Amino acid sequence: MSTSAAPVSLAVPALFEPRQEDYAAFAALFAQSCRIGATAAGGLHRLAASVDDGRARTMLCDWLRQHAFEVRVDPVGNIFGLMTFDPAAPYVLCGSHLDSQPSAGRFDGSYGVIAAAVAIAALARHAAETGVPPACNFCVVNWTNEEGARFQPSLTGSSVFVGAMPLPQALALRDAAGVTLGAALEEIGFAGAHPVAIPVAAYAEIHVEQGPTLERRRAAIGVVRETWAASKWRVRFDGEQNHTGPTPMAQRRDALLAAAHAIVQVRAEADRHGLEMHSSVGRLDIYPNSPNIVPAQATLLIELRSRDVALLGEAGERLAATLQRIADMTGTQCVVEDRQLREPGKLDAALCDLALDTGLRLRLATENSVTISGHDAINLSRAYPSCLLFVPSRNGVSHNEAEFTSDEDMHRGLRFLTAFLSRLGKETPRHTGNDHGN
């Protein structure tokens, strides 16, 4: 549903909006972020808990402290920038993530963190100038390992925060080199000593869309109402290491051949359902990965995504049977090492309605959206009223160095977010929750 640019009634007070200095602050901080982990092609390579992630975190913490935020870091490395007006009031959290995929874009995640920081700083300045504090407190959040590129699974920091993943399990996650998340966070100086336990009223996240819909519809803001489910599998084929020259073809137990058949079948499963399902094999690890050796082992990370959980269940049963047939055909063994389902979700209706109304009053083309990709807002929505907001992505390209969102679209998003948070600050959120943290 798109909002029209209808005239705003004179009886409705104007919404709080950023000043020019806020847009300048956003541009400077975003440009600084883009330099940390920059690639030659204009993208970003900043894996979770890497040296560059540590530099980006330090950049954020320095900026927050300079603007009177209290900075706390929890044991899984989540960063919280607290702007407290009333110690007895709950917090509205707003943020995203600073980590990226390998050779990815500059906007995914970082935009949401920086927009949140600048918007909340502007609200704090306004409160100081007018002497009228908001009815709630605000908190900028940078969630650890949202992408899941270096450590699997993704959405790690927010999962720990809402209690969906035990802290010891998160800290024990290992990358391809065997380094644990806990050790990596210690190395960059972002392993907090204590949980950050605060009462949470609501969570808001603004993000680049990572799809073409808003751009095609010439919309400025997407208000996400629902999320697709995701079924994620780690599958291993075990074969037999042997010489690629003299070993007869009929005697080979090639794990990579089995993986190749599996990849084709994963794609075929999505093709079977048209627009109702997406699938991928985004990672393939081969051992020993030598040109003269028949691979002894191949591990695949498989995803099936749909809004229909029953459809995912049916596809999963079919895929399990297919993987076993492939193993029998190739003389290998198939082991499903892990299989997880991220349920579909709906974002808070009242927050979404308020967001749509905010877009109308700002005369921004605003419409309802759906997300297929995962976001920390999905985790937060399991525990608190949450809102996920989109700005356009050029050509829908994301997780790619060519990812791009214009300054105009980013500024519209900052304007929207500032006004939206201001409205939350005037209307005490109804959900105060319990003190939460890991």
> Hey, where are the domains in the chain?
20-228+344-436, 232-342
CB contact set of 170 (below 8 Å; sequence gap of 6+): 76, 156, 157, 159, 160, 181
Spacing of C-alpha 23 from chain mean position: 24
Q: Classify domain 20-228+344-436 at the CATH class level.
A: alpha beta
Separation between Cα atoms, residue 351 and residue 390, nearest integer Å? 14
Spacing of C-alpha 94 from chain mean position: 13
The pLDDT averaged over each successive group of 10 residues in the chain (438 residues) is: 41 83 98 98 97 98 98 98 97 98 97 98 97 96 97 96 97 96 98 96 97 96 96 98 97 98 98 96 96 97 97 97 98 96 94 97 97 94 96 95 98 98 81 53
**Do 20-228+344-436 and 232-342 fold alike per CATH?**
no
Q: CA separation (Å) from 388 to 44, 222, 240? A: 23, 8, 48
Tokens of 311: 């459809």
The amino acid at 123: L
Predicted pLDDT of residue 11? 47
Whole-model pTM: value is 0.90
Separation between Cα atoms, residue 417 and residue 153, nearest integer Å? 29
Q: Is 169 helix (H, G, I), strand (E, B) or coil?
A: helix
- DSSP letters, 98-127, are ----TTB-SSTTHHHHHHHHHHHHHHHHHH
**Residue 27 CB burial class (10 angstroms; 0-12, 13-18, ≥19):** middle
Predicted pLDDT of residue 14? 84
**Residue 310 CB burial class (10 angstroms; 0-12, 13-18, ≥19):** exposed
Task: Return the ∠ at Cα 371 (arms to 370 and 376), rounded to 5°.
Answer: 130
Predicted pLDDT of residue 187? 98
Helices (H) and strands (E) in the chain, counts: 12, 16
Separation between Cα atoms, residue 124 and residue 137, nearest integer Å? 10
The amino acid at 336: V
405, 107 in Cβ contact below 8 A? yes
Note the helical H segments in 162-279: 167-171, 181-188, 213-217, 255-272
CA atoms 304, 308, 311, 317: torsion sign? positive
Q: Classify domain 232-342 at the CATH class level.
A: alpha beta
Separation between Cα atoms, residue 58 and residue 36, nearest integer Å? 11
CB contact set of 132 (below 8 Å; sequence gap of 6+): none
Tokens of 312: 């995912």
**Residue 178 CB burial class (10 angstroms; 0-12, 13-18, ≥19):** exposed
Q: Is 297 helix (H, G, I), strand (E, B) or coil?
A: strand
Hunting for tokens 């985790």 — which residue is that?
Answer: 379
Nearest alpha-carbon partner for 267 in 306, 304, 308, 322: 304
Separation between Cα atoms, residue 198 and residue 438, nearest integer Å? 11
Residue 166 backbone dihedrals phi, psi, to 5 degrees:
-65, 140
Tokens of 342: 């991220």
58, 77 in Cβ contact below 8 A? no
